[in-house]
Structure formats: structure tokens, C-alpha cells
Structure 1
Amino acid sequence: MGSTRVALLGTGGTIASASGADGQLVARRSVAELLDGCDIPAGVSVEPAVDLERINSWDMDPRRMWLLAARIEEALTDPEVAGIVITHGTDTMEETAFAVDLATATDKPIVFASAMRSADSTSPDGPRNLSNAVAAAASPKLRGLGVLVNTSDELHAARWIRKVHTHHVNAFSSPAFGPVATFDPAGGLRLVHHRIARWAPTWPLDPDVQVAAMTPYTGFAPDLMRTVIEHTGARGLVLEGFGLGNLPGGLASVVGELTERGVLVVIASRVMAGGTFPVYGGDGGGAGLASAGALFAGELSAAKARLLLMRCLSGTSTKTARTRLLDALDVLAGGC
């Protein structure tokens, strides 16, 4: 019996980083070098292994994310490839993973791997994370569960995972739902969620759609929202609100202005768990924002809501995009 093939695409990040003469970390190592330090599971081969980029993930942008999704789809058209691993930096990994989830339709496992410690650290976490990611990508148990992120012996859904610490090794969590699967001490996979509802858009992606995101703060000047839209020409705006999805007083009227002009406005929460609910009245309360035309992101972070809105606005009118977004939020809210 032949081995199970897994593809590997590298983008850089801390997992590929090492210190230079100045002591500063830079993504230097190829995926081939990273594989040399890994325990690849028996019966699994990694082929092809390709470096797409070698960058820090703060330099990722939506266009790069959509291009990565296209390369993943291309790699997985090979019937001999059972799944794929992507190495990535931790700063924006949750966003890239979610973007890929929105732009791919395969049921083969797509697994992101990263590290909080550099490759030349005295105790790097990258080798174990990459080994686990390869095992996960080869596993038929994970087919149909969407894009997953491997970290600290856990697999998390792209839509749920958040970076919750700047430097600890266990820096990731899915605050509302927990991991999709875990690795046991013997290396076996134990599923926690056996099904995850997936939203799979069928329309072409427009990489040039502009959507802005802002984090209103106490005392936030309403004109800042108008300025951002005028400066960027954005067709959508995501606002990271307080609590259940509330904003400082005075912003509801601007939300109404923008929606009247055809800008889709989505309210997310800066709180990591619980979701958004338009229940509060008064100026800036969620109920008033809903009356002004805003939609609510549910459990999605502002960053992920922005990517979802970009996907919904691709190649269509605001009215149709609004319908798409409502459908997507309904499916994504279904969770498992």
C-alpha cells in the first residue's frame, strides 16, 4: 500500500524564522528545512513542499490571502493529495485561515501550522506543530470540517480561533466553542466537533473589493467614519463595537447615512465570546443601529467579518450582497 500524500505550502512566519547577526528574527528557513526537523507520521509523505513566500504575517493582505486560497485549490485537485498544510505566522493566521475557508470548496483537510518560538530557539514548538498538522491533513476523520488551525496539540476551526496571548506557546483559543479535535499522547486524533456547518459561496471572487474596518472608542468623532469611506471608496464598513454590539452616541446617524449611500455596515464586538445582539435602545445602542440599517457579525471578529463582507460584495450590488451576508451569517451562526 502506498503512502498518503500531503502537500505543503510555506508562507514564512515565526515557524520559519531565525536570528540574524543583529539578533532580530526574520523568516529565513524553507519548508524543506522545516520538514527536516519533523517526525512525519508513518505512512505519510509530504509532496510537493513549496515556498510561496517567506514573509512575516503582518504583511499578509486580502489579495495574498485570496491568491493563497487559489494555490491551495489547485494543489488539491490532484487526486493523489489527501490534504494540505500551510505554514504561516501567528499575527494574522486566524484571518488568512478564515479567508481560505471562504474561498475554497474542497472537503479535503486544509490545516495551518505556525509557531510562537523561532526555528533556532532552544525549545522550538514549530516541529511538533508541523508534524501534527501533517498528520491532521492526512486524516480522513477531518474531511468536510473546513479549514483548521493546529496549535498546542489542538485543532481549531478557522472561523472560531483567536490569538489570545502575544507570546505564550499556547497563544490560541476558540473562546466560544473550543477545539475541533485534539491529539492524544499517542498521537491519535480525538474529535470534539464531528460536524461544522460550512458556508460555500459559488460566485467568483473579486480581490479588489474595498471594505474598511474601524474600532470606535469612547468619545469617537462621527466624522472619522465619513472620512474613511470617502478616502478609501470602501463599499463596506465593519465597526468593532462594545459588548453586544453598541457604539458611542452620535454614530447611529452616520451609520444611517452610509447605508443610505449603499455602504454595507456590519457591527462586530471587541469581546471575544458571546456574539452580537441588537437589544439596547438609545443613541448608539444595537437596536438603534439595526434600525439604521446595520447588520451584526455574531461570533465573528471584526477582522473576519471584514473578509466575509468582501466575499459577499464580490461582483454584485449592495442589495444582493446584503442578502448574501445575511445567509452567510445564518449558516455560520449554526456552528456545529
Structure 2
Amino acid sequence: MGTTRVALLGTGGTIASASGADGQLIARRSVAELLDGCNVPAGISVEPAVDLDRINSWDMDPRRMWRLAARIQEVLAEPEVAGIVITHGTDTLEETAFAVDLVTAADKPVVFASAMRSADSTSADGPRNLSNAVAAAASPELRGLGVLVHASDELHAARWVRKVHTHHVDAFSSPTFGPVATIGPAGRLRLVHRRTARWTPAWPLDPDVQVVAMTPYTGFTPGLVRAVIEHTGARGLVLEGFGLGNLPGNLTSVVGDLTERGVLVVIASRVMAGGTFPVYGGDGGGVGLESVGAVFAGGLSAAKARLLLMCCLPGASTAEARARLVDALDVLDGGFQVAR
């Protein structure tokens, strides 16, 4: 049997972090150093291994995300490359993975690897996570599943995965859906879901298109929304609502005013599982919000809904962007089935 080739792109994060003389953690280590510290599975070679960035993931932004996606497409176009691993910080990993999943079309495995403990920790989780991610990227069983996030011997779909703990090693989960695949003893993969549909924008992207996300709270002042839209000139707004996607009652008229002005308004939920549905009537209820033009984000978080909306707005009127968004949400809310 020949050697399977996997590429590795580094962006920094805790997996690459170590303490300095002042005791503070900073992303210092290259992907070459990370590879030296982990067990690359037999029969797999990792090349190229390239550092694109060495940043903490709270500094990740859409421009970097689109650039990363373009580089992934470029690398995966090489016939010899079976799959690719991206190292990334955990704070915004779910957003970058989702953005990459939206805008890359390759069927080869794309696997994000991270760590909750620094590279110089006595119980670092990075080496095992990286080793598992490399094995997953080399696996033909994972072709066609889209972008995956490895965490604690599980592989999660980018569209579903969420960071659910600030410091535990098992910090990632996919509420409602669970992992796409699991990794058992001796690295044995068990496929849980198969992907049946995907959505990819068929038009050029603009990382500078302005979309704002806000989280209303009890007693929220509606003028804050108006002020933010006026200040930023945003074409899109994502509101993180309560429960099924309800908002303080005084926001219904604001949402209606914004949609009449051509701002595309999307309602997500601050609850991790279950998704949004227009069920309740009355001011602030989902039925009323839908009637004044709001679109419900389904199972997407507010952060992911913002990225999806950014993908739908370029070069489109509000009506065209809305149609794109509704089509994308229809695909993304399904698109997987239980593996047999």
C-alpha cells in the first residue's frame, strides 16, 4: 500500500500556544513543531505543512476566513492530497469552520483541529487531537461530509458544532444532532450521519459586506438597533432572540421599519438546541416578526447566521438576497441523514 498524503494549514490558537517569561499564553509554535510532538498515523505523510497565520482565534475575521477557504480549495485541487487539516483556536472555530464549509466545494475531508490546553501543558490535548484529525483527513469514509471539527474523539459537522464550555477539554458539541462520526479504539471510525445536500454560493463573495449581530435582552431599548444600523450602514441584521425566536415586543415595529428600508433581518435563538420557529403571536412573537419581513435562522446560531447572510448579500437586491438566504437555510437545516 502507498502513503496517503494529507495537507496541514496552521492559523494559531491554543493548540500552538505556550507560556512566555511573563507566564502569558501566546500562539508561538509552528505547525512543523506541532507535528513533531504528535504521532502521525502509519501510512500517512503530512505535506505541505504551512503556517498561514499565528493568531488567537478571537482575532479571526471574515477576510481571513475567505482567504483560508481559498487556500484550502487550492491545496485540495492537487490530486495527490487526500484531505486537509486546519489548526485553529477554539473561541471562533465554529464560525471559521462554518464559513469554510459554505464556500468550499471539494469532497475531500477538511478537518479542523484545536486544543483546550496549551502546547506546553503537562496534559496537553493538542497532540492527540492533531493525530486524530490527520487520520480523519486521510479517511475515504469521510469524503463528501463537508467541513468537520474534531473534538474529544468526535467529528462534528461545521453547521452544527458549538463551543459549550470555556475550559473543559470536551468543550465542543453538536446540540440536537450529535457528532457526524466518532473515533473508537485503535482509531476505528464509526459514521453516524451522511450528508445528502450542500449549499455553496455561486457568486463572488465580499468579506466587507456589513452584517451586524445583536443580542436583545429583557428591557432592551429599541433605539439601540436603529442607532447601530444608522452608524454602520449594515445591509443585514441578525437578532439573537429568546426561545423559539421571540423578541421584546417593542422590537417588532423596528424590524418592520428596517425591512421596509431594505435591511435583511434574521432571527436566531440564544438557546443552543431546537432552532427557531414562528409560533407565538402578539408583539415580539415570532408570527408577528415573520409578518413584518424577518427570516428565521432555523438551527443556526446567530454567529453562523451572520456569516450565511454575508454570503447571500453580495451583488444582490434585498429581495434576491432574501431568496438566496431562504434557499440556503432550507438546505442547511436538512442535508444529513442517519448513516446505515
TM-score (norm 1): 0.99
CA distance in 2, matches of 1:176, 1:314: 31
CA deviations 1:153-194 (Å, max 9, x no partner) are 000000000000000000010011000001111111110112
3-state secondary structure, aligned to 1:182: strand
In the alignment, is residue 267 of structure 1 matched against residue 264 of structure 2?
no
In the alignment, is residue 212 of structure 1 matched against residue 208 of structure 2?
no
CA distance in 2, matches of 1:124, 1:205: 38
Match of 1:48 in 2: 48
C-alpha displacement of 1:121: 0.2
Match of 1:294 in 2: 294
Match of 1:331 in 2: 331
Match of 2:255 in 1: 255
CA distance in 2, matches of 1:200, 1:241: 27
Match of 1:181 in 2: 181
C-alpha displacement of 1:202: 1.5
C-alpha displacement of 1:205: 1.1
Aligned CA distance change for structure 1 residues 325 and 132 (closer, same or farther; 3 Å): same
Counterpart of 2:193, as a letter, is H
Which aligned runs of 4 or more in structure 1 are off by greater than 4 angstroms?
Answer: none
C-alpha displacement of 1:196: 4.7
CA distance in 2, matches of 1:54, 1:316: 35
CA distance in 2, matches of 1:61, 1:305: 15
CA distance in 1, matches of 2:142, 2:205: 26
3-state secondary structure, aligned to 1:194: strand
Match of 2:314 in 1: 314
Match of 2:118 in 1: 118
In the alignment, is residue 73 of structure 1 matched against residue 73 of structure 2?
yes
Q: Is the 8 A contact 1:31 1:49 kept in 2?
A: yes
Match of 1:128 in 2: 128
CA deviations 1:267-288 (Å, max 9, x no partner) are 0000000110001011100000
3-state secondary structure, aligned to 1:150: strand
Counterpart of 1:269, as a letter, is S
CA deviations 1:43-98 (Å, max 9, x no partner) are 11000000001000000011111111011111111011011000000000000000
In the alignment, is residue 23 of structure 1 matched against residue 23 of structure 2?
yes
In the alignment, is residue 159 of structure 1 matched against residue 180 of structure 2?
no
Alpha-carbon RMSD: 0.8
Aligned CA distance change for structure 1 residues 313 and 103 (closer, same or farther; 3 Å): same
Match of 2:108 in 1: 108
3-state secondary structure, aligned to 2:265: strand
3-state secondary structure, aligned to 1:186: helix
Aligned CA distance change for structure 1 residues 320 and 173 (closer, same or farther; 3 Å): same
Counterpart of 2:20, as a letter, is G
3-state secondary structure, aligned to 2:194: coil
3-state secondary structure, aligned to 1:96: helix
CA distance in 1, matches of 2:196, 2:95: 18
CA distance in 1, matches of 2:196, 2:100: 16
In the alignment, is residue 227 of structure 1 matched against residue 248 of structure 2?
no
CA distance in 1, matches of 2:335, 2:170: 24
CA distance in 2, matches of 1:16, 1:3: 27
TM-score (norm 2): 0.98
Percentage of identical aligned residues: 85
CA distance in 1, matches of 2:13, 2:48: 20
Counterpart of 1:31, as a letter, is V
Counterpart of 2:38, as a letter, is C
C-alpha displacement of 1:300: 0.2
Q: Is the 8 A contact 1:149 1:155 kept in 2?
A: yes
Match of 1:9 in 2: 9
Counterpart of 2:197, as a letter, is A
Match of 2:239 in 1: 239
C-alpha displacement of 1:318: 1.1
Q: Is the 8 A contact 1:244 1:275 kept in 2?
A: yes
CA distance in 1, matches of 2:155, 2:248: 37
CA distance in 1, matches of 2:254, 2:166: 34
C-alpha displacement of 1:195: 2.5
3-state secondary structure, aligned to 1:250: helix
Match of 1:86 in 2: 86
3-state secondary structure, aligned to 2:150: strand
3-state secondary structure, aligned to 1:72: helix
Match of 1:203 in 2: 203
Counterpart of 1:58, as a letter, is W
CA distance in 2, matches of 1:164, 1:110: 22
CA distance in 2, matches of 1:283, 1:95: 31
In the alignment, is residue 36 of structure 1 matched against residue 59 of structure 2?
no
Q: Is the 8 A contact 1:146 1:196 kept in 2?
A: no
Aligned CA distance change for structure 1 residues 335 and 177 (closer, same or farther; 3 Å): farther
C-alpha displacement of 1:2: 2.7
3-state secondary structure, aligned to 1:321: helix
Counterpart of 1:300, as a letter, is L
